Amino acid sequence: MKNERFSGLLMHPTSLPGPYGIGDFGSEAYRFTDFLAAASIKLWQVLPLGPTGYGNSPYSSRSTFAGNILLISLDLLAEDGLIDHKALPAYPDLSGARVDYQQVELLKVPLLHTAAENFLAASSDEQKAAYGVFCRQNSFWLDDYALFAVATDIFQDSRWYSQWDTGVGFRDARALAAWGEEHAHAIEIRKVLQYFFYRQWQELKQYVNEAGIKLIGDIPIFVAADSSDAWVNRKLFKTDSKGTFSAQSGVPPDFFSETGQLWGTPIYDWEQKEKELLDWWILRIRKALEQTDIIRIDHFRGLEAYWEVPAGETTAVNGNWKKAPGGKLFDRIKAELGEVPIIAEDLGVMTPEVVELRDRFDLPGMKILQFAFEPAESSQGKPLKLNAANDFLPHNYPVNCVAYTGTHDNDTTVGWYQKLPESYRDLVRRYLARPDHDISWSMIRKLMSSTARYAIFPAQDLLSLGSECRMNTPSTVGEANWSWRIMPGALDDALSARFRELVELYGRD
């Protein structure tokens, strides 16, 4: 049996170039696909595609089912006759190296709404029929999300539990019916925008798949408190007698943080609502499989046990581990959806129980090369001795894993290397047996030659970019996070040829 091995790039669509301030599903996405094909790259990994809220994090989406309308291509809408082509040249050129989300929303959203209005007013019978099919197939989330999106605009806040009128916020049936009738047209506009998103994404996905490339998507394990998911499914989460969330997520104190990390998302009530939660998770997985071909589950260990912190705590110190029925979930997935390709984000301290859950269902875990260069405890002075047993070193990789130089949460490889003390850089050079003038590609080469079935690289590492191009710094909120964009033409023929040579040398085709 052939030992199939693949390579991929991590590039969120927001990072694509273009004149409208943010990457989208238009021509640059197709051009990026052509680059992947020319480089013999078989995997395109994206971050969660949902609508983002405060901080613009894809991992704190306002819906686990809806799409981020800022990714809709204005050019494609113009080609469909839904926006006047003459309006687009007057659009300010926002083709810079960072996404200015506030500016993008101010300029792009009105044009998207105009396109939706034109669609409702003048679409053909065939277009109306296709839209109707979309609405029926997605009715389990679409109507609620559209109402949620309108309410978020009207109340100027997505915190339904504290800032909305009580009847709407806590889903009183009469209040919802009256409110939905009063704002029916605005709600319909939001549904049309979701139709645009899914239609354009499915057309792009078809192009990607026809090029022999698979898409890797991403599911955050928890949902945001101010999301439509929490608003609609409040009873699936731990709440107090007043119906407000009584627990929040995080990770315990460790080497990196004396107070742990407090994420603040609501906690699933697995003890009381296991069946309902398993049903809901199946809906999540099913929808993700419509969008992508392979699914990465973020914070996989939380499906075996998660760190629960009481509401009101300001750090993650006073928490406890709580069990989750991960085995039952994966049994349901297999029974109802078949063999679903899933990547387990298994970073951090893994217990034997988490490892057993991952391996029982034959899920590939993740290996980050930047984590590998740990000195041995016996090291004295210089040069340091490498801890050769480190699991993140390529010579220790199992075949069934996904190897990365770094992820969206890491510095770029060049930025990471430049910040290392010289003694650690010496460890890196000796392990790679290469000088450091081309460190990013030396790391890429090492992973391409490894036994790992999948080797995936952030696009920044192919371009040998520094820390100024980092995608995200965890536990921070700022303009630099989630806003990096690649420059037009950066992924050129010479780069694809260079990568294709590694694919051919190491049999990753």
List, by residue number, the catalytic residues: 298, 345, 409
Q: Which residue has the tokens 């319909």?
A: 188
415-423: long-range contacts at Cβ-Cβ below 8 A with a sequence spacing of 24 or more?
415/465, 415/466, 415/467, 415/468, 415/469, 415/470, 416/370, 418/466, 418/467, 419/467, 420/373, 423/375, 423/382, 423/383, 423/384
Task: Taking the CA atoms of 356, 357, 358 and 363 in sequence, report the sign of the dihedral they define.
Answer: positive
394: tokens are: 């390529």
* Paired tokens of 212: 């022999």
Q: Are 94 and 103 in contact (CB under 8 A)?
A: yes
Query: Which region, left, alpha or beta, applies to residue 112 given φ > 0 means left and ψ of -120 to 50 means alpha?
Result: alpha
Element (H, E) at 261: strand 261-266
The C-alpha angle 506, 207, 9, rounded to 5 degrees, equals: 35
* 376-379 CB contacts, 8 Å cutoff, 24+ apart: none
Cβ-proximal residues to 121 (8 Å cutoff; 6+ apart), any chain: none
Contact 205, 291 (CB under 8 A): yes
Q: How far apart are CA 152 and CA 192, in angstroms?
A: 17
Cβ neighbours of 287 (radius 10 Å): 17
Closest of 305, 315, 325, 218 to residue 263, by C-alpha: 315
The Cα 221–Cα 229 span in angstroms is 13
Spatial separation of the C-alpha atoms in residues 424 and 428, rounded to whole Å: 6
Q: How far is CA 470 from CA 244, 293, 392, 441, 474, in A?
A: 37, 26, 21, 17, 11
Residues 6 or more apart whose Cβ sits within 8 Å of residue 102: none
Torsion on CA atoms 383, 387, 393, 399, rounded to nearest 10: 150
